[in-house]
Amino acid sequence: MEIGKAADSAASYVLERMMKKDVLAIADLTTKDLEKILKRAAVLKKMQHQGKSRQTLKGKSLGMIFEKSSTRTRVSFEVGMYQLGGQALFLSSNELQLGRGEPVADTARTLSRYLDGIMIRTFAQSTVEELAHNASIPVINGLSDLHHPCQALADMMTIREKKGRLKGLKLAYIGDGNNVANSLIEACVKSGMHISIGCPHGYEPDAAVLRNAEREAAQTGSELAIVNDPLKAAKDADAVYTDVWASMGQEAEHAVRVRAFKGYQVNARLMKAAHPKAIVMHCLPAHRGEEISADVIDGPQSVVFDEAENRLHAQKAVLEMLMR
């Protein structure tokens, strides 16, 4: 390649890297980004329910890398790309050269030549970040052990649907301070919601997430509390949220965690501490009889399947924002 052309190519790559945006955590989004995504998601949902569609991503391709199994993430991203006029490619880590030791950086650079965006569902947040650092196309975190931003966006969309607003409401999260809890904390403080985490000692959310959230909460007026009493966490909450006690990759800890989380079940007794019109949320899959009782998750206050549907619409809004 001629020197001038090589320089132009390098400059073009740098420009693409500067202009591209990733969603690796809710913290990557500005408050304006969050509002834009939620508004657009509501429009896309309404259009879908009316049988209307816009081919805003016609001709675009999304690569979906899965190192963790999935129901909602795979189906919602695949269907979402189809509804927007694009295509999604399922890429199992067992079938990629990643599974044979190819560096993440090389995979990122190669896929950037073929695709318009990458979604990855994996274990380590460092894998997501390395992929994004080396890709010249947008990267979306479909789930890591540290963050689950797409779930939190769907959750915020659901709360706003049911309550008409976010700012000033209280979300109570009961259970393990896992990736979902981390992303909910970031989403709540960014939107001005109050959030109370009820968890046992040793199962608190990530310390760095908490430090950053406390700084942002001071600017948005959000209140953030970590308590060990689930009833205290749930007091007067407008939404009560829980997740499984043992996430993927923690199956060997299940028995230990069941003992640690005894008393942290979202059930009728706990719901009496919340606001009478509180909604019940769960990111699914759920273990009835463990983190949540069957009568609550299947009861009239539950919005878990609206929440699951909203993964589709919130992610479509993210795809448009990054790839359009």
CATH number for 151-308 (one of 3.30.70.2740, 3.40.50.1370, 3.40.50.720, 3.30.1330.20): it is: 3.40.50.1370
Q: Report the alpha-carbon distance of residue 1 to residue 306 in Å, rounded.
A: 54
- pLDDT score for 124: 97
CA dist list (Å): 65 to 28, 91, 101, 136, 307:
20, 5, 15, 16, 23
Asked if the model's pLDDT at residue 13 lies above 50, the reply is no
Write down the pTM of the prediction.
Answer: 0.93
Q: Compute the C-alpha angle 66/70/74, nearest 5°.
A: 75
Residue spans of the domains in the chain: they are 10-148+310-323, 151-308
- Note the pLDDT tens digit of each residue in 99-126: 778 999 999 999 999 999 999 999 999 9
- pLDDT score for 94: 83
- pLDDT score for 11: 47
Query: Residue 225 forms beta bridges with which residues?
Result: 196
DSSP string for residues in 32-47: HHHHHHHHHHHHHHHH
Please tell me the CATH superfamily of domain 10-148+310-323, with its number: Aspartate/ornithine carbamoyltransferase (3.40.50.1370)
- Note the pLDDT tens digit of each residue in 302-313: 999 999 999 999
3-class DSSP assignment, residue 134: helix
pLDDT band at 2 (very low <50, low <70, confident <90, very high): low
Q: Report the alpha-carbon distance of residue 39 to residue 320 in Å, rounded.
A: 12
pLDDT band at 249 (very low <50, low <70, confident <90, very high): confident
H-helix segments, the chain: 3-19, 31-49, 72-83, 104-114, 125-134, 149-163, 179-191, 207-220, 230-234, 254-260, 268-271, 294-297, 304-323
Asked if the model's pLDDT at residue 223 lies above 80, the reply is yes
Task: Count other C-beta atoms under 10 Å from residue 306's C-beta.
Answer: 15
Q: Look at residues 322, 21, 309 and name the one whose alpha carbon lies nearest to residue 157.
A: 309
Asked if the model's pLDDT at residue 18 lies above 80, the reply is no
pLDDT band at 247 (very low <50, low <70, confident <90, very high): confident
Over range 142-165, report the average pLDDT. Answer: 98
3-class DSSP assignment, residue 280: strand
Least confident of 33-37, 99-103, 276-280, 283-287: 99-103
Asked if the model's pLDDT at residue 4 lies above 70, the reply is no
Q: Which amino acid is at 50?
A: Q
Q: Report the alpha-carbon distance of residue 128 to residue 147 in Å, rounded.
A: 10
Asked if the model's pLDDT at residue 296 lies above 50, the reply is yes
Shared fold status for 10-148+310-323 and 151-308: yes
The residues assigned a catalytic role are 121, 148, 151, 243, 283, 311
Q: Report the alpha-carbon distance of residue 59 to residue 204 in Å, rounded.
A: 44
Q: Report the alpha-carbon distance of residue 90 to residue 33 in Å, rounded.
A: 27
Over range 140-145, report the average pLDDT. Answer: 98
Q: Report the alpha-carbon distance of residue 268 to residue 322 in Å, rounded.
A: 41
Q: Report the alpha-carbon distance of residue 155 to residue 34 in Å, rounded.
A: 12
Contact call for residues 238 and 170 (beta carbons, < 8 A): yes
Contact call for residues 156 and 180 (beta carbons, < 8 A): no
Average pLDDT, the chain: 94
Q: Report the alpha-carbon distance of residue 34 to residue 53 in Å, rounded.
A: 22
Percent of the chain with pLDDT over 90: 88
- pLDDT score for 10: 47
Asked if the model's pLDDT at residue 320 lies above 90, the reply is yes
- pLDDT score for 248: 78
Q: Report the alpha-carbon distance of residue 249 to residue 247 in Å, rounded.
A: 6
